[in-house]
Structures are given as C-alpha cells and as structure tokens.
Amino acid sequence: MPPRADDVPPRRGAQPRRGTSRDLPAEGDDTPKPSRGFGGIGDARAYTPRGRTVAERDQRTRSPRAGRTSDPFRRALQVLEGGQPPRRGRSTTEEPPPTRPERRTPEKSERRTPEKKQPPRSRRPEVEDDEDEFRPARRPGGRVVADRERARTTASKPARTTATKPARSSRPTASPRTGKARTVSGPRVDRAVRAVAPEPPRLANSTRRLRIGAVVALSLFAMIGIRLVVLQVASSSEDADRLVALRKDRLAEVRLPAPRGSILDRDGAVLAHSVPARFVGADPVLIKDPVNTAALLSPIIGVPQSKLVPLMSPHKRPGGGDARFEFLAQGVDVSVGDRIAAMKLPGIVVKEDERRDVPNADLAANLIGFTGADNSGLEGLEARYDSLLRGADGERQFEIGKGDLNKPIPGGFEKFTEPQPGTSLQLTIDSKLQYEVQRILAEQSKKTKATMAGAVVMDVRTGEVLAQASYPPYNAAKPGEYTPTEREDVPSSIVADPGSVHKAFIFGAALQEGLIKPDSVLTIGPALERGGYRFQDGHMQPKGTKMTMAGLLAYSSNVGTILIADQLGKEKVYEYQQKFGLGRSTNEGMPGEAEGRILKPEEWSGSASGSVPIGMSVDATLVQMAAGYAAIANDGTYIQPHLIKSMISGKDGKATPAAPPSSHKVLDPEVARQLRLWMEAVVDNKGATGTQAAVPAYRVAGKTGTGKRLIDGQYTSANYGSFIGMAPAENPRYVIAVSADVPVGTGGDVAAPAFAKMMSYALLHYRVPASTTPAPKFKIHP
C-alpha cells in the first residue's frame, strides 16, 4: 500500500503544495499542537488548478463526495472544518467571511498572468445533508473559473506560506451563533473576535486615463490636420511651379478663352458680341502624313495647303524641344469644327473657341472696329477698350504621356485657372438713329460723288453722341476686304479746314467780349487784303455796303468776319478757339482721335489774320466742331462729347456709369441765345447759304462751311463742304454736323440737305415737340 500523504516527508526548499494543511499555531496561541487532521488538502496526490484530483485515502477519512462516481465537471476538493469531516446530525454554522490570504511568490516556472481580483463575497451556510461543494464563479466574459475566493483560507485554516516568508497564524474567527473563536488545532475559545473584512484592491482611475488618452489622440490628429492644410494651401503653388519646371516636356497647356464682353447700344441692342466657335490645332509629332492631312483640311478651313504643311511637319520650338501644338484655324463655325472632328485625323484637335460677330454688318462698323484671330481688338472701340472687353483667359495644364494630347494621365499633375469674363460696353449710340444717319449719308454721298463723308449727332444737354457715321462704310465681320482708309472713322480721325462754320465762334467771342451788339451794323466791301493775300466774299457786296450781324452770317461774309476778328485780336481769337474745344482731342472714346491744330498768336503770319477767322489755317475734326456748336446750343456751356454710357461687369452684370464728362463755360446764356437768333437767318432767310437745311415745323439754326483738306502739305482740289445746325433753335435738343469731301459744291449744297433729313428723323424719333413760334424776320441791310 502506498504511503499516505501524511507520511511523506516535506521536501526542503520546495514550495509547499497548494492547499497544504500544516499544523501552525495561531498567533499568540501557546497551546500544544494537536495531531494533523485527516483528509486535508495536502493529502492530494496531485493538484490541478480546478482541483478535480484528490489522493486515495481511507474511506473513513474521505468526504461524502469521494464515494460517488467521479464527475469530471465538478470540483472534487472539499474544505473540511478543522481537518475533520462534518458529523451527522450537526448543522454547520455559516462560515465567517474569509480573510485576505498571504501572497506567495511563485517560482519562475509557476508564474501566470495575474487575474483581476474579485471583491469578497459572502458564503452560503453549510447544511448537514448538503454537499460541501464550491459554486463556480463567472468572470464578466461568462467564463467559469475556479472559485479562487473560496479557496482562500479562513480563520480555521493555517495561512499559506512561501519559500521565503514564514506563514502567519490565522486569526481566530467568531462563530455566527456562539460568538466563540476556533483555533486551528484547539477547541473553541470563549473570546469574541471580530471578523475583519479584507480591504478591496485599489484600482486605477480608468476615466482619468481615458481622458488623457483622448486628449493625446486628438492633439495628434489636430497636428496632422494642420500639417495637411499647410502642405495643400501654402505649398501647393510652389510645388506646382516646381513640378511644371520638372515636367515641362510632359505638360499640355490648353487655353480657356475668357468670354469677350459685348458692345451694346444705349437701349441694350447688340452691336458686337462673341459667339461659340471652334479652333483647329495640330500636334506635329503625331501627324504621320502632313501633306495628305493638309490637303484634306485646306478646302474645309480655307487656309492654303502651303501654309498648313510647315505647321504640321515636325519642328522645334524657339525655346527648344519638339513643338507639340500649332493653331491651324481659329473662329471657325461649329459645324465646320464638328466635321473635322468626325474625320478623326491623327494629331488634329478641335476645341471650343469664340468668334466676334457683328449682327448688323456695317452698322456703326467704323466706331466698333473689329478683332483679330486671337479675339483681340485691332481697330475702333474694340481696340480702345480691349483690356476691358477681353477679360482674362484661363488655362488648363495637365500631364500627358506619349499618346493622345487630349487624354491626361489619370492621377497626374493638373492645374486649372478659371477664365474671367470681359466687361461689356454700353454706348450712347442709338442703333435706330445710327442706321438712318448712315443711310442718309451714303445716299447723299453717292449723289454728290463724295469720296468720303461723316456725320455726328449729339445731345446738347448731356454731350452724348447718339450717332456717328462714316462713308464709305465697311462690314466689320470681313475687315480684310477693305483698305485702312475705307475703315477710318471720318468724324474723329479726318482733319480739314472747317471753313465758314468757324465764323460762328468769332461772332460769339466778339459778342461775349462786347465788341458787337445785337443791333450792330458793319460796313463792308467786296474784298480786302491781309499779308499780300486777297480775301473776298462769295456773295460780293459793293464797297460801303452796310450789313447786320445776322446778314453777315446769312451770306457768310468773309470780309465782315475778318473785320470783327481784327477787333478781337489774335490772342482772343486763340483763347476762344480753345474754349470751343479746338486744338485738342475731345476724348470721346475713339482710338487715334485727331487733335487738330490751331495757330498760337506767335505763329500767326501776315495772312493769318485773314485766314484764321474764316476757318482756314485751322485743322479740326467734325467731332470737335460739333462739340463747339453744342456749347452754343447749350446756352454757352461746353460738355465733352462721349460714346460710352456705362460698363457692365461680366461677373455679376452690374452696370457702372461712365465717368461724368467734363464741362466749362464758353459764353453767357444770353449771348448764346442771341447768337442762335443770328444763325437762324442762315436757314430761314431767303437767298442765304443754308436754306436747304430747313426742317418743317421746327426752327433751325446753323452755319454752312466750305473748306479744304491739306494732304502732304498741299491743299487738294476737292472741296470739304459742311453744315452744322441745331433744333429746335429756340430750345435746342440736338446738334447734327455733316461734312463731305466732294469734287465740286459747297456745304449748303452737299451737307445741308443731308442735315435736314437727319434732324427731321431725330426730332420725330425722340418725339420733340414742334416749334410753337416762327423764326423772326431778319434785316440783312439796315
């Protein structure tokens, strides 16, 4: 028979077996130790963590559980009170709460992962007939674990010891019923011992750790986010520029044309605007047969084959590297572009473009001008306000491979610049009035065989130019079919000696200076000499003829005007010429507007005192003369003529009025009214020079003129006839100036009839009431 566990001597230096019952005296107890109990946990031959194996012992020392069939899922160990099995018929008392066991230091091979300690639980009281078994405890995960808390020693068991620490005697515990303490080896002791509950383990503050961890994590994410923003925003442009420099040969650039602003009339009617079109380009590297490709495209886009072949053939760019793009045609119709795209020619690309369109062909073409192939203004208002109209083109850059130019590399470099639309111009021009003025001017020019002619209509109260026409006109959509001379704007760019229309300025200056009065009479002769030149009247009067101021103007007396200018003096003549706007550009808005020229007093020669007052030796444009007459019509106040009414933003469509025109005083209002009365005699008086300028139902004041054009220092043989008038004369609303360069004829014959038709239409168009009083009767000779 194998020896009992009690007979096996303990091994020195070895760790005591788990659950070994050793006879250790209680602390402070001097009673002799009784004999070792039976059936202790130390009698087990082997021990597993679940305690399912027990030593074979004598049947009388085994617990009641030992005689039953072994159940592998139930614990077979039983803690015996005092080392003895419970007696029959004696009910057990409730076990006192366990005390905290001594920790032992496991050896290296025994160390396991520490488990979370559970708080002590109260134990169920033992009943005599009930099996003294442990109830398994569940951890939070549901796992059944050994009830380690039940294995802790109570007051009736000796404390476990380690190899390095001596075991402490268990404290005596009080029985719940008797209140007597029981020692390990002795009987009950009649002394009250209070059970001490073990202190729960002090756990770490998990909430505080969670907060700290959250703050750290958020800080890290914030730092990463800030760094990403810096990289994306602050470094994107620099990185992009650096990338462009590194990949210059692998970047394709596509221009995104900005929509060019429109040119509108005063009522919003379109005079010029951009319409969708296409451009055709080529990549010489991808074109395999330039000659054949050029032969296919030439008849479609209208470009000679000899010009297309060099563009399509492989060649180098000026900066080095292969040329990868060349324009073949711009502004082609959408239908033409779609046709070329459908041909799918290698290396040929068709992209969106725009083309300038002039809906009314030659309407105000001399004012509007035209654009080039790149949609930039070349002449007229298109050129003067090109920077406003064209906006800012956008651009798309993308990385390409060796294949199709149109296909960017997925995920490659790409840069996009949004195009900024151009500003639209709203003119002061009335398109309906402009059409009539152009029609009448062309009709009269053809009738008189004029080589060129011009007309200007102004609102005397605002200085707005309502119409400005030139003859011959041209189609702004096809500017290449006309010569530069044919495309000139006659009223603003052609200078000439105005002739007798200049006399109104001399009469106004003398009246303003008090040298002549409304009832003044001047004695004249048929001619006079100045500086060796003879000046005579067209309507020659006998020597000693007396004429009124109205008579002198009605018959356009050169002699009378020179005599009045002699009273003014050359300084005053020059001063009033400047006040009426001569000798400087009006800045109405047209590019290349001529300034004209007037002689300074120190530049006057011997004959200048005769030629300057009658409008010779003076270079002026029709616009300058019209603005001077508008000052007379506006009660003596000069207002700068202008063509721009407002500018309309291409972004939000907001209209911004043009800067107010400059103005200054030339004549007193009563002087201007008296001068207009004298000028009515030119139209109303029988036999006067401007009777063909009369408008039915309206009083008209004006003046005729016949001058010359100076070309290359020589006067031409043709006459430069003009008429400038205003209506209604008693309260003028509009001034119209007409001029024509004709082989023969005078202003009264050439320009006055055209004026009458234009003024009649303007007054009716703007519904100006007819004159309520007739023109006064003038005395030519007192």
Q: Which domain holds residue 60?
A: 1-104+115-194
* Within a domain: 218: no
pLDDT the model gives residue 513 = 97
Greater confidence, 730 or 6?
730
Whether residues 609 and 543 fall in one domain: yes
Same-domain check for residues 323 and 386 = yes
Cα–Cα distance for residue pair 411/399, rounded to 1 Å = 9
Which is higher by pLDDT, 240 or 164? 240
Q: Please say whether the beta carbons of 355 and 275 come within 8 A.
A: yes
pLDDT value at 617 more than 60: yes
Indicate if the pLDDT at residue 490 is higher than 70: yes
Say what the alpha-carbon torsion angle 681, 686, 691, 696 is, to the nearest 10 degrees.
Answer: 90
Distances (CA, A) of 729 to 113, 402, 460, 683, 695: 117, 77, 12, 11, 11
What is the count of structural domains for the chain? Answer: 3
Residue type, 551: G
> Are 456 and 401 members of one domain?
no
Higher per-residue pLDDT: 85 or 393: 393
- Residue 252 predicted with pLDDT over 90: no
- 339-363: average pLDDT: 90
Query: pLDDT averaged over the chain?
Result: 80
Q: Please give the pLDDT value at position 452.
A: 94
Do 394 and 511 sit in the same domain of this protein?
no
User: Pick the residue with more confidence: 438 or 29?
Assistant: 438
How is the chain split among helix, strand and coil, in percent rounded to 5?
Answer: 30, 20, 50
* Rounded mean pLDDT, 477-498: 92
Residue 375, pLDDT above cutoff 60: yes
Looking at the structure, tell me whether residues 141 and 56 fall in a common domain.
yes
CATH number for 361: 3.90.1310.10
- Residue 592's CATH number: 3.40.710.10
The per-residue pLDDT for 196 is: 64
Q: Please tell me whether residues 524 and 379 are part of one structural domain.
A: no
In a domain, 236, yes or no: no
Q: Residue 117's pLDDT is what?
A: 46
Residue 608 is predicted with a pLDDT of 95
In a domain, 221, yes or no: no
Does the structure show a pLDDT above 70 at 115? Answer: no
pLDDT mean over 376-397: 90
pLDDT at 566 over 90: yes
Asked whether residue 398 carries a pLDDT value surpassing 90, the answer given is: no
Residue 469: HSE in the Cβ half-sphere, 13 Å Cα cutoff: 34
The DSSP letter of residue 231 is: I
**Average pLDDT rounded to a whole number, residues 348-352:** 89
* In-domain check, residue 222: no
Mean per-residue pLDDT for 757-779? Answer: 95
Instruction: Kindly tell me if the per-residue pLDDT of 665 is higher than 80.
Output: yes
pLDDT of residue 10: 47
Are residues 498 and 596 both part of a single domain?
yes
Q: Given a cut of 80, is residue 85 above it in pLDDT?
A: no
* pLDDT value of position 418: 86
Residues 300, 449 within the same domain: no
Rounded CA gap, 538 and 557, in Å?
A: 7
Find residue 254's DSSP bridge partners.
Answer: 396
Q: Provide the b/e sequence for 663-675 (b: ≥16 CB within 10 Å).
A: eeebbeeebbbbb
Q: Which residue has the higher pLDDT, 445 or 246?
A: 445
Please state, in angstroms and rounded to a whole number, the distance separating the CA atoms of residues 601 and 603.
5
